């Protein structure tokens, strides 16, 4: 987890920002007081999972595939290294917010929608998490299904908040126009 977060931190540093890493129960968060372009956001998002995948995951896979590990204990440890550094990295690349792949999706959509990629990225997140959850149930991966449900719920909640905020902005604009004695403008604003 720390290696993953250090990957994000190094990318932030490459762009001249001072990152902060907070480790949590299911992983961590690396942040910086930075307003990144979508392109730089993609690099920062990919730096975490790719660092763990390249530095630990691929070497562990090469050792595992070579068949040179013969002791049971070493094979178990190697399997865990593979699961954590390959499995979690690949899961983290799924286009589901708040995963890194979801951040990449949002940045790409920001590029093609002129900065309005959050809503479509959340819709993509809900769809992909839903499909992932159904697949997880079909293979009896209950933990993955619950995780998918959590992601669906989080993204629906964020969409709901954004919709409420947009309505509040419309009402505030209409009130401003009424106070400016522009009732036609107020009607047009809502």
**Predicted pLDDT of residue 27:** 84
- Cβ contacts of 82 within 8 Å, gap of 6 or more: 57, 60, 61, 64
**Predicted pLDDT of residue 102:** 98
The model's pTM: 0.80
**Predicted pLDDT of residue 165:** 67
Q: Sign of dihedral through CA atoms 44, 45, 50, 51? A: positive
pLDDT in tens, 39-69: 999 999 999 999 999 998 888 888 888 988 8
Could you give the CA distance from residue 6 to residue 8 in angstroms, rounded to a whole number? 5
**Predicted pLDDT of residue 129:** 97
Q: Which residues of the chain fall below pLDDT 50? A: none
């Amino acid at each position: 987890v720390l290696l993953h977060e250090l990957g994000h931190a190094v990318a932030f540093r490459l762009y001249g920002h001072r990152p902060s890493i907070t480790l949590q129960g299911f992983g961590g968060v690396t942040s910086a007081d930075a307003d990144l372009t979508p392109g730089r956001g993609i690099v920062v998002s990919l730096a975490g999972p790719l660092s763990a995948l390249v530095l630990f995951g691929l070497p562990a896979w090469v050792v595992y595939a070579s068949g040179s590990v013969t002791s049971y204990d070493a094979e178990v440890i190697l399997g865990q290294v593979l699961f954590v550094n390959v499995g979690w990295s690949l899961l983290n690349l799924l286009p589901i917010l708040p995963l890194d792949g979801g951040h990449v999706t949002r940045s790409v959509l920001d590029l093609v929608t002129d900065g309005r990629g959050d809503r479509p990225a959340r819709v993509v997140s809900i769809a992909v998490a839903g499909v992932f959850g159904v697949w997880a149930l079909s293979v009896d991966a209950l933990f993955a299904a619950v995780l998918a449900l959590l992601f669906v719920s989080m993204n629906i909640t964020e969409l709901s908040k954004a919709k409420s905020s947009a309505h509040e902005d419309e009402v505030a604009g209409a009130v401003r126009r009424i106070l400016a004695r522009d009732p036609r403008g107020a009607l047009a604003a809502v």
